[in-house]
Amino acid sequence: MSAVSKLLPRGWGRARKGARVAEAFRVTRRAYHEDLCVLERQLQDAPERMRGACRDLHGQAVSDHALAAALVHGATDHHDPEHREALERAGHLLDEARWALAAARAEAAGRRRPEDHAPCFFNAQHGPASTTVRWAPPGGACHEVSTCAADATRISQGTEPDLRLVHTGEGWVPWYQLPRTTADGCAPPVVEQLDTEPPAAPSSLEEPSGRS
C-alpha cells in the first residue's frame, strides 16, 4: 500500500466510484428525457398518406418511443442495477425508434431505408448515421466515426459538426466525454473506446454548438 493510500479514508475509492455512477445516471436520464421530447415532436410530424411498410415503420417508432419513455420514467434509483439496466435499454430503444422513423420517411419519399441503425456520432437526435468520416476532438487523435449526411457535409467543407453538448456539474460538456450508464455502474466515455490511429490530415472541433 502506498503512503498516499494510507492517508485516504476507508471506502474513499468506493465513494468516488459511487459519485461517478450517480452523475452518469443523472446526466444520462436527463439527456434521454430531452431525446424523448424531441422524438415525440418528430413523430407527430408524420409522413402524409402512410401505407403499408411506411405505416408499419412509423408504428414501430411510436412503440419504441413509448417503451423507452416508460423505462426512463421508471428508472429513478442509480443504486439499483435494474434501474441502470433500464436506462441503458432505453438508449437502445431510442436509437431503434429514430431508425424506424427515418425508414418510414424514406419509404414515403421512395428512397432507400437507412442501412445503419447506429445514431449519428455527433448528436443522436440527428437520427441514424449514413456515412463515416475521419474526425479528431480538440487535442486528440483522429478517429473514424459514423455520422449523418449533414454533419459529414459540414466536415468535408471544413466547418464543425453540430455536436451535442450536455450540461453537467462542471458545465457544458461534449456528450462523448461523459461516462455511460450500464447495469454494472458506468462505462468509460465513448471517445476512449475509439480507434486512435492518426490519419494524414485530421480535422478538429473547437467550439461545438448543439446543447442539451
Work out the pLDDT band at 200, boundaries 50, 70, 90: very low
CA–CA distance, 144 with 152 (Å, rounded to integer): 12
DSSP state of 136: -
Domain extents in the chain: 13-211
The closest of 67, 50, 190 to 119, measured between CA atoms, is: 190
Q: What integer pLDDT is reported at residue 186 of this predicted model?
A: 82
55-107, pLDDT tens digit by residue? 999 999 999 999 999 999 999 999 999 999 999 999 999 999 999 999 999 99
Check the CA dihedral 189-156-94-40 and report its sign: positive
Q: What integer pLDDT is reported at residue 199 of this predicted model?
A: 35
Share of the chain above pLDDT 90, in %: 51
The strand pairing partners of 134, in sequence order, are 144
102-111, pLDDT tens digit by residue? 999 999 888 9
32-53, pLDDT tens digit by residue? 999 999 999 999 987 667 788 8
Strands 185-187 and 180-182: antiparallel
2-26, pLDDT tens digit by residue? 443 334 344 434 557 788 889 889 9
The closest of 177, 174, 135 to 152, measured between CA atoms, is: 135
Give me the chain's average pLDDT, please: 82
Q: What integer pLDDT is reported at residue 193 of this predicted model?
A: 67
Alpha-helical (H) ranges within 110-148 are none
165-195, pLDDT tens digit by residue? 988 877 888 888 888 888 888 888 877 766 4
CA–CA distance, 112 with 95 (Å, rounded to integer): 18
pLDDT of residue 115 exceeding 80: yes
- Residue carrying C-alpha cell 418528430: 42
| Residues 146-167, mean pLDDT to the nearest whole number | 92
